[in-house]
Amino acid sequence: MSNKTVYLNGKKVSEDAARVSIFDRGFQFGDSVYEVIRCYNGVPFLLDEHLERLERSLGELKIPLPNPIDEIRDLCTQVAREHGTAPSVLYIQISRGVADRSYMPPPGLVPTFVIYCEDMPIADKRLYSEGIAVAVLKDIRWLRCDIKTTSLVASVVQKMNAAARGAEDVLMEREGVGVVESGSGNLFVVKNRCITTAPEGEFILSGTSRGLVLRLAKELSIPVKLAFLQKAEVYGADEVFITSTTAEVLPVCRVDSVRIGDGFPGPITRRLLSAYRAEVARVTNYKYEE
């Protein structure tokens, strides 16, 4: 296991001492929410946006905050700084707490609060110069994808199925809706120099990186349309890319057996990746390798 800086219920502990009860509802039911925050140069990037989404997810599941949000923000900053300046990710998980196993939680539970930071290098340059392959598979997730819950087994299964087809990620196709997002990121499709991405709502998790890319596209005068696309429209795209906290702006150059555009990352994808990384550098003073 990689080296981690771990806090459990607000106190720093060693990895070996980081233990949660088997009766925790996060373990028993996936009754918990989480956030993953990319840290550059020891600085959590888009921290306020992540914490805003964390509060929303907790509110939707009626799980109380374990600490005031300002204290959680301060702890995130502290943990990232303690861990060091190498690229890393900060993981937050808050469950409803520990109780005897019952679907109906008893009143007065104390949430379990886990936060840790671990090294995670920037993705291989090859992925950004060559792009990845994805497979379109049926969306078998529940109907509240807007809540960032730890119940991720459907995405695990579909990522495994995509890998069996030789793809590096999955695009989820929701019956009667269209292709909504990837297994762990938001989908953007470029046609005739216009970007289309799914609207906010219950079918997608509105990513913090998605929000930044939408802002950057506006600043760069790149037109954006919010709509669900059918699989044939994705196949016919000029460019496809996925945004996520860890991958930033990741080009997709093959969908199923279909080559996208000329088979290489397109100009709008490259432009937005450059703008995204410029924003990272501005906020965190991180210097990407040339």
Structure tokens given for 259: 């080559």
Give the C-alpha separation, 163 to 170, whole Å. Answer: 8
54 backbone dihedrals φ, ψ, rounded to 5°: -60, -50
CATH number of 4-119: 3.30.470.10
**What are the domain boundaries of the chain?**
4-119, 125-284
DSSP string, 75-131: HHHHHHHHH-SSSEEEEEEEE--B-SS-SSPPTTPPPEEEEEEEE-PPPPHHHHHH-
Same CATH fold assignment for domains 4-119 and 125-284: no
Active site residue 4: no
Lookup: tokens for 284: 């965190």
Query: Residue-wise pLDDT tens for the chain (290 aa)?
Result: 578 999 999 999 999 999 999 999 999 999 999 999 999 999 999 999 999 999 999 999 999 999 999 999 999 999 999 999 999 999 999 999 999 999 999 999 999 999 999 999 999 999 999 999 999 999 999 999 999 999 999 999 999 999 999 999 999 999 999 999 999 999 999 999 999 999 999 999 999 999 999 999 999 999 999 999 999 999 999 999 999 999 999 999 999 999 999 999 999 999 999 999 999 999 999 999 87
Return the closest-CA partner of residue 9 out of 54, 56, 66, 63: 66
33: nearest Cα among 5, 17, 9, 53 = 53
Kindly name the residue from 12, 62, 148, 225 that is annotated as catalytic: 148
Q: What is the Cα–Cα distance from 187 to 19, expressed in whole angstroms?
A: 36
Could you list the beta-strand ranges (E) of 1-83: 4-8, 11-13, 32-40, 43-44
CATH number, span 125-284: 3.20.10.10
For the four alpha carbons of 215, 220, 223 and 228, in that order, the dihedral sign comes to negative
Distances, alpha carbon 93 to alpha carbons 97, 114, 279, in Å: 11, 5, 27
CA angle at residue 168 from 40 to 165, to 5 degrees? 170
